[in-house]
Amino acid sequence: DAGVTQSPTHLIKTRGQQVTLRCSPKSGHDTVSWYQQALGQGPQFIFQYYEEEERQRGNFPDRFSGHQFPNYSSELNVNALLLGDSALYLCASSRPTRGYRTQYFGPGTRLLVL
Amino acid sequence: QKEVEQNSGPLSVPEGAIASLNCTYSDRVSQSFFWYRQYSGKSPELIMSIYSNGDKEDGRFTAQLNKASQYVSLLIRDSQPSDSATYLCAVNKGGADGLTFGKGTHLIIQP
Q: Does the CB of B34 have a partner CB in chain A at under 8 Å?
A: yes
Q: How, if at all, do strands A19-24 and A74-78 pair?
A: antiparallel
**CA–CA dist B61, B80 (Å, integer):** 12
Q: Which chain A residue shows the shortest CA-CA distance from B52?
A: A100
Q: Does pLDDT of A22 surpass 70?
A: yes
8 Å CB contact between B104 and B43:
no
Contacts of A81 (CB under 8 A, 6+ apart): A13, A14, A15, A16, A17, A18, A19, A113
**CA–CA dist B1, B25 (Å, integer):** 9
Beta carbons of A35 and B45 less than 8 Å apart: no
Q: Does pLDDT of A11 surpass 90?
A: yes
8 Å CB contact between B62 and B72:
no
Q: Give the residue from A102, A106, A30 showing the smallest Cα distance to A70.
A: A30
Q: Does pLDDT of A70 surpass 80?
A: yes
Which of B43, B88, B96 minimises the CB distance to A106? B43
**CA–CA dist A91, A110 (Å, integer):** 12
Q: Does the CB of B96 have a partner CB in chain A at under 8 Å?
A: yes
How high is the pLDDT of residue B1? Answer: 64
Q: Does the CB of A48 have a partner CB in chain B at under 8 Å?
A: yes
**CA–CA dist B56, B61 (Å, integer):** 8
8 Å CB contact between B31 and B52:
no
Q: Does pLDDT of B94 surpass 90?
A: no
Q: Tell me chain B's radius of gyration from C-alpha atoms.
A: 13
Which of B51, B88, B98 minimises the CB distance to A45? B98
Contacts of A3 (CB under 8 A, 6+ apart): A26, A104, A106
Q: Does pLDDT of B4 surpass 70?
A: yes
Read off the pLDDT band of B96 (50, 70, 90).
Answer: low
Find which of B32, B89, B99 to mutate to test the A interface (most A CBs within 10 Å of its CB).
B99
Q: Which chain A residue shows the shortest CA-CA distance from B88?
A: A42
8 Å CB contact between B68 and B110:
no
Contacts of A9 (CB under 8 A, 6+ apart): A107, A108, A109, A110
- What ranges in chain A are assigned the alpha helix state H? none
How high is the pLDDT of residue B40? Answer: 96
Beta carbons of A42 and B96 less than 8 Å apart: no
How high is the pLDDT of residue A96? Answer: 81
At B36 the three-state DSSP class reads strand
Strand partners, B62: B57, B75
Beta carbons of A45 and B36 less than 8 Å apart: no
